[in-house]
Structures are given as C-alpha cells and as structure tokens.
Structure 1
C-alpha cells in the first residue's frame, strides 16, 4: 500500500521522519511523498528526513512561528485560515500513485490535535482516495491539558477520517525510558509495525507471497470506519553459517506453530490501543519473514484462529516473504473496535480537567476583584 504521509505538529512530524527512515533502511517505496505541517518553526528545523521544501510553517500571522502553546482551538482556527497553503502542497503529490492519505498527529498538543482534523475534512472533500488518521494519545502523566486536548480532538478526528488508527503512549511506552528515548523508541516501533503491513503487497518479484495482502485488502479492512488498534509481535530466527560462510535456510519444521504463536502474541499482547478484541468489526493479519518459514497452513491457521478469537467472519490475511530476514513477524489490525476502556478513561479525565479549569478561572476573577477593591475611598483608573 502506498501512502501520501502528512505529519502534523511536533509528534506527527517526528513519526513521519521515522516512517521515512524505515522506508530508506528497508528499501521500501510505501511512502510516495511526505509533508510536515507545524506552527512552530523549531520543530520543523529538527526534522531529519522530510525534505526541507515539504516542511510547511503555518499560522505565522498569529503565532510568529512559536507554536500555539497547547491551545488546540487556536490550532483549529489557524488550520481554517491557512489550509490552502497545505492543500496546494498536497496538489503537487502524484496522487495517481497514492492508495491513501494518512494524517499523523499527536492528539495532546495544540497543533496536531487542532489542525489534523480540519485537514482530514478538506482532503476527504477534495480527493477520492481514503483519508486515514494515525492519532497518538498522551500518557496520563503528561498533564490534564494534554488529555483534554486529546479527548476533544479524538471526537472530531474520528468523524473526519475514513478510519482512525490509535497509538496510546500510556500503554506502549517503556517503564525505564527517558522522555526523549521513550518517544524515539515509540516512533521506531510505529514505523516498523506499519512497515510490515504496508509493504506486504508491494513485492519486487524476488519473493512472491502465496497469499497477497495488497492495498485493496487493507482498504476493505479499514472501510468499516471508526477506530482501529494495531498489534505486532516477532519471533527471532536462528540460522547457522554455511560451509562457505553464507547463511543457511532456517529450520522450517516448526513453521506452522511459530506463525500461530506469533499471531496470538500480536493479538493478545500489547495492542497500540488496548481494547476488547471481540468488539472488532473486521481484522487483518500479515505474517512476514523468511520464505521457508511462511507455510500456507500456518497462515491459514492463524487467520482461522483470529476469526474465532474476534468473533468476526471478516478476517483477511496473507504473507510477506522477506529473504534473509532474521525474524518472523506478525502484524494484526483490529478495525472498528468499540469496547475501548482507555477512551472512556480519557474522556473522564478530560471532563474533570475542563471542570477544574472553569472553577480555577472563576476563582481567579474573584481573587483579582478582591485584590483591586478599595475599602477606604475611591480610586479612579486611568481609563
């Protein structure tokens, strides 16, 4: 599947950078073109892979390149005022080569959460290709304002895209990670997980899949709309050196149980958005690895298990041969999930935060009035 990738805000830009780095490293052409959109000049300057000409600074009349300060209402206003600049850049993308657009945004900040939903709306109005969102939820310890932003943006974003794939920083971050390393690792994980899925149908002829998962399979899986979660797991492959130093083929005797075990781990392990898997409307599984370890029987058993585990009959699946790969990996998409406790938790925290902010504002106005009141005589203001 080939994408036009648009990273919005700081997190969206960095994830887009990670996608491009993964595509270069794996010699993949799944990203046709990529843009980065931001209200903060410094964030755009920090990108490594997005071409300089594709880094779009918007809102300069309002915020002078300094960002919106986590104010997603201001971000949305800037999106409405400056969207034509972004859409003009999108018009330069060879959309005849694109299967879908994907907008990537952190939903906790002001730019990503405010700008991405509006851009999704405009792209959907102007193009026939599907418009997907990849939304990053903030961890609970990132602060109430970011959770409030995410809850409000989530409600809007999911309405404007054909499907919103969600990555939850709360569950996916490592306990021992620093802030910088945690985000960097998360971005790399995202790129690797999606890379397996997107590249599955883009074969170069060196190793042809037995069951191809092409763009139409992915589009049909996501066509139910709503929210999707993503699972990934990998099993290392042990190889022995050949007589002349080359790698021998991996032992294929356990190919089927290895595939089934890896798919189960991808589905029941850490999903990008924790959910009840039986609430999924559709599902998709891709198994990637050395061709000798991708047994047709294993892939079919894994797909049948996913049908039983989710309770949906719309489960698509296939393989992605990667010669000389050192692992067997499984990518699982659960599309249209509806039983998502994390979203309800997010909404609850957001409502509490919103109420606290209103109460604080009311108290501040009262305190200021008390501070400025004069008890002994009248004091005239200047104007």
Structure 2
C-alpha cells in the first residue's frame, strides 16, 4: 500500500547570493537592498568611502594594504591584488550558496580585476556551483585604458563563470538617455532586481501551472557563456514577450541563442492558448531549439509579466572586445 507523503517535509530553499564589486556593483546592491530582493546581498569595494554609503547585508573592504581604502585608480592589477589580499573574508561571507551572481561595471580597476579572481576561487572551492555575472560595459567614448580593462576583465570572467549577462551602457544611453541620470542607471539595476525576483517566484511551486525548477535553470545556464535577460509587461502575453526581447541591453539577436528560459506570470483569465504564445514565439519566430517554459497565475496582476533569459548568444561587440570570434 502506498503511503501518503508527509505534510511536514522541510522546504528546500534555493540560496541565492548576489555580490556587488566596485562602485558600480555597490550602487546596484544598494538599489537591490532598497527593493527588498530575496537574496543575500554583499558589497565588496576597495574604496572605503563608497562602501560606507552602500546598503547591503554585508560590507567588505578589500585591499586595505594595497589601496589604503582609496580605490584602485583604474589599475586592474591593484583590483586583483586587493581581492587576493582579502579573499578569505569574501569566501567566508559568500558561504556555500546554490546560485552565485556577481554584478559589476567593467572598465575600472576593482570590478575588472577582482571579479574574475573571486569567481575563480569559488570555482576551485565549489566546482558544481552555478555562478554567473551581470556586467555593464563602459561607453565607447571612455577611452582606451577602460577598454583594455574591460577586455581583460570580460575575457577572464567568461573563462570561469557559467554565464555572463552583458549590458551595454551605449544601448542604455540610446534607450534611456533623456531620463535623469540616476533614473537611467536605475533602469539597468531594475533589470537585475526583476530577474532575481522572477527567479525566486518561478522556483516557488505555489500557484505554478507549469513549474521551472532549479535543475532546469542549471541546465540552461551551465557553461552558457554570453547571455542576455529581458522583461516585458502587457495585457497581451504576445506583446509582453516582444517587449521582453526588445528590452535587452546587448547587440545580440535571440535567434543566436543556444537556449532560452521563458517565464510567464499572468493575471487570472489568461487562457492557455494565450500563455502558450510565449514559448511559441521564441521557438517558431526566433528558431531557438531549447526552450524552457514556466507559467504561473498571479491574482494580484492586471497584466502579464514575461521574463526571457537567452543563453549562449552571439554579440559582435563582445566578440570585438574580447577577441573571441562570435562570442557566445
């Protein structure tokens, strides 16, 4: 006789840690903290004054001996040495999560130098850990030194991370350049915050009609390389999908993706036919062969919210910067 499952089984919670490195990463962590994102938020910086105004669950100064708390001055080698100096503090703060995300801006010394080193140390410690980075690339007019730092940082990060979501400041400028300065950069931070919130919601089985579990996420993102994420909202699921694709901040076409996750959070009354438009568009219109689809009805919503994570995409700009042919 089959016995019923126990009702007191302990819930398995996916532990997500997000680390912001350098000034750009710490600004993002502050914005995530103010939105009460459900993840452990850690801020890491060489500039102690910048760190003092950052909001996070944990603040870590690295490279006190190397930089004396004054930043790296754009010196990538100082950023790496600072991370080497205090790597034990960083690893202890991270612990052993299920999912590690590092966010930073490339071009300066701390983000470009410390990010790949910290990821490499975590990879040595936990070979099977799902690790990714969400990075912004500098404006094209910022000069050759920042470009060189970006080149080295991005190339080294792609070597050790499972996936790297790349956001281009130049596209941010084109799309949100008329907004006040703080608001335009918050739009980029909102993409990361919306992504974490959607992933947490997606992994929660309550209310799910078609559930995506953590193993599905790992399958999509393991050794995926260059990736992008987009979010769209509209009363029509089809239009929400198109908005999500259009919202990406990378010069990559969805048709170049090796795989895609499509997560639909819909209000009551949306039909299965309407919801199924989301994966159909990604598969039929853009020809993505591996599509993972999740669907949940949320009675608090008035319009559908669609998140798309495209993995293994090809970007000409990333390829030009890294020197890796057809990066993806």
Category of TM-score, reference length = shorter chain: 0.7 to 0.9
Q: Residue 226 of structure 1: CA displacement?
A: 0.9
* Structure with the bigger percentage of helix: 1
Relative to structure 1, the CA distance from residue 57 to residue 282 in structure 2 (aligned partners, 3 Å threshold; closer, same or farther) is same
Q: Any conservation in 2 of the 1:230–1:273 contact (CA below 8 Å)? A: no
| Structure 2 equivalent of residue 47 of structure 1 | 54
User: Does 2:247 correspond to 1:270?
Assistant: yes
Relative to structure 1, the CA distance from residue 270 to residue 142 in structure 2 (aligned partners, 3 Å threshold; closer, same or farther) is farther
User: Does 2:288 correspond to 1:312?
Assistant: yes
Relative to structure 1, the CA distance from residue 181 to residue 265 in structure 2 (aligned partners, 3 Å threshold; closer, same or farther) is closer
Query: How many angstroms apart in 2 are the aligned matches of 1:42 and 1:222?
Result: 35
Q: Any conservation in 2 of the 1:171–1:270 contact (CA below 8 Å)? A: no
Larger radius of gyration: 1
Q: Residue 75 of structure 1: CA displacement?
A: 0.6
User: Does 2:143 correspond to 1:130?
Assistant: no
Question: Per the alignment, in what secondary structure is the counterpart of residue 215 of structure 2?
Answer: helix
Equivalent residue in structure 1 for 2:179, among 177, 191, 197: 177
Q: State the TM-score, normalized to the length of structure 1.
A: 0.75
Q: State the TM-score, normalized to the length of structure 2.
A: 0.86
Question: What are the superposed Cα offsets for residues 350-372 of structure 1, whole Å, 9 maximum, x if unpaired?
Answer: xxxxxxxxxxxxxxxxxxxxxxx
| Structure 2 equivalent of residue 139 of structure 1 | 139
Q: Residue 310 of structure 1: CA displacement?
A: 3.2
Q: Residue 37 of structure 1: CA displacement?
A: 0.8
| Structure 1 equivalent of residue 60 of structure 2 | 56
Q: Map of 1:1-383 to 2, 5 A cutoff?
A: 2-22=15-35, 24=36, 29=38, 31=39, 33-48=40-55, 50-51=56-57, 54-91=58-95, 95=96, 98-127=97-126, 128-173=128-173, 174-203=176-205, 205=206, 208-235=207-234, 258-267=236-245, 269-293=246-270, 295-338=271-314, 340-346=315-321
| Structure 2 equivalent of residue 367 of structure 1 | none
Q: Residue 314 of structure 1: CA displacement?
A: 0.8
Provide the aligned C-alpha RMSD in A. 2.1
Q: Residue 178 of structure 1: CA displacement?
A: 4.1
Query: How many angstroms apart in 2 are the aligned matches of 1:151 and 1:11?
Result: 17
Query: How many angstroms apart in 2 are the aligned matches of 1:142 and 1:181?
Result: 21
Query: How many angstroms apart in 2 are the aligned matches of 1:47 and 1:289?
Result: 35
Relative to structure 1, the CA distance from residue 219 to residue 77 in structure 2 (aligned partners, 3 Å threshold; closer, same or farther) is same
Give the gaps of 5 or more residues in structure 2. 1-13, 324-328
Q: Any conservation in 2 of the 1:139–1:168 contact (CA below 8 Å)? A: yes
Q: Any conservation in 1 of the 2:257–2:311 contact (CA below 8 Å)? A: yes
Relative to structure 1, the CA distance from residue 147 to residue 178 in structure 2 (aligned partners, 3 Å threshold; closer, same or farther) is farther
Query: How many angstroms apart in 1 are the aligned matches of 2:302 and 2:107?
Result: 36
| Structure 1 equivalent of residue 9 of structure 2 | none
